[in-house]
Structure 1
Amino acid sequence: MIRAVIIDDEQHGIDWIKELLVPFREKIKCVGSARTLQNALSLIKEVSPDLVFLDIQIDDRTGFEFLQMVSPISFEVIFTTAHEKYAVRAFKFSAVDYLLKPIDADDLRIALLKFETKSASKHLEQKIDVLLHNLEARHTVKKITVPTMDGYEFLEVTDIVRCRSDVNYTDIHLKNGKKITVSKTLKSFEELLEPEHFFRIHNSHLINLREVKKYVKGKGGYVTMNDNTHLEVSTRRKDAFLKRLI
């Protein structure tokens, strides 16, 4: 049985999550809730939960402050947030689980399924660091958390030269020559990185436009990257690519 705790400064927020958890009562049990950071700290020590639903804003404090008080963290966290769109992208970059308020039942079900596939994460504190960096730096270098066979890699987006599709995996090639293989599709990285000056020039290749050294004309043409890789540009993507490149 999964032992869960809800931390939210609004009672209706707590009540709503409890109601959404009812269909999962055979596998997850809410063992407590708190509306202040101090009460939350006492509750965590008392019940030692497996999972914490943690509101980002708790009165004039934050859920991040709470996690700093708890460190080291021995439970998984699913954040709940009403933050604007840019904050949601920050969550995706950091690979931290979140639910956007008002919380939807299907979104909660998906979050719980993800939780069941992993144990308490020793990488949570590093992922929180990435999240805070991205929340505080809307227009500067962003960091990204990528899952690997061994755990997680924490990368500066600007260190990525290109990403290559390998069926349901993606090879990430870095400026230092390192290659990281990730069990996520290229499309997922395209959605995340395209607003950060990346472009998918081919079904197999997503590139950092800042790392393009040369473009050679042709039916689609090809690019030479700063790592001296030659990559074909798809004919149907050529016009859109040139608009982004110039």
Structure 2
Amino acid sequence: MKNLAVNTIMFAQAQINYTDLCCADGKKHTISKTLKKVEQDLLVTGQFLCINKGFLINISFVKSFLVDESKVYMNNDMVFSISRRRLKALRTTLKNQITSNLYDL
């Protein structure tokens, strides 16, 4: 992960004691860390959010979010289900990101 730019990671997927880091360029990098350890490393950036037990997403790549269906759609047209426990956190995070982007204009 040291040679990988964090802002290019779209999402991370748990694979038991490994984690697949999927990037915007379509490449997948497998590292020997659990998703929990990757989450601890990436949460400090403020760009990532755990949406269920198996996935961590980069909110910069979120295209849309459907609360009724508990689904998040990514820029690459992938769709992820959001656990009920994580739904409120995702809603708050995306709302804050939109608000801060409006202030940047």
Query: What TM-score results when the alignment is normalised by the length of structure 1?
Result: 0.37
Correspondences of 1:1-246 after superposition (within 5 Å)? 144-145=1-2, 154-196=3-45, 197-218=47-68, 221-246=70-95
Offset at 1:179?
Answer: 0.6
Q: State the partner residue of 1:22.
A: none
- The one-letter amino acid paired with 2:51 is I
Higher helix share: 1
Q: State the partner residue of 1:80.
A: none
Distance 1:227 1:178 in 2: 13
Structure 2 residue runs without a partner (length 5+): 96-105
| Matched residue SS, 1:155 | coil
> What number of residue pairs does the alignment pair up?
94
Distance 1:218 1:189 in 2: 29
Offset at 1:191?
Answer: 0.6
Distance 1:218 1:184 in 2: 33
Distance 1:231 1:176 in 2: 19
| Matched residue SS, 2:44 | helix
Q: Once the two structures are superposed, what CA deviation does each residue of 1:92-139 show, in whole Å capped at 9, x if it has no partner?
A: xxxxxxxxxxxxxxxxxxxxxxxxxxxxxxxxxxxxxxxxxxxxxxxx
Moved over 3 A (4+): none
- The one-letter amino acid paired with 2:26 is G
Partners of 1:161 and 1:227 within 8 A in 2:
no
Offset at 1:218?
Answer: 2.5
Question: What is the RMSD computed on CA atoms of the aligned residues?
Answer: 1.1
Higher strand share: 2
Q: Which has the larger radius of gyration?
A: 1
In percent, how many aligned pairs have the same letter? 35
| Matched residue SS, 2:25 | coil
Partners of 1:198 and 1:208 within 8 A in 2:
yes
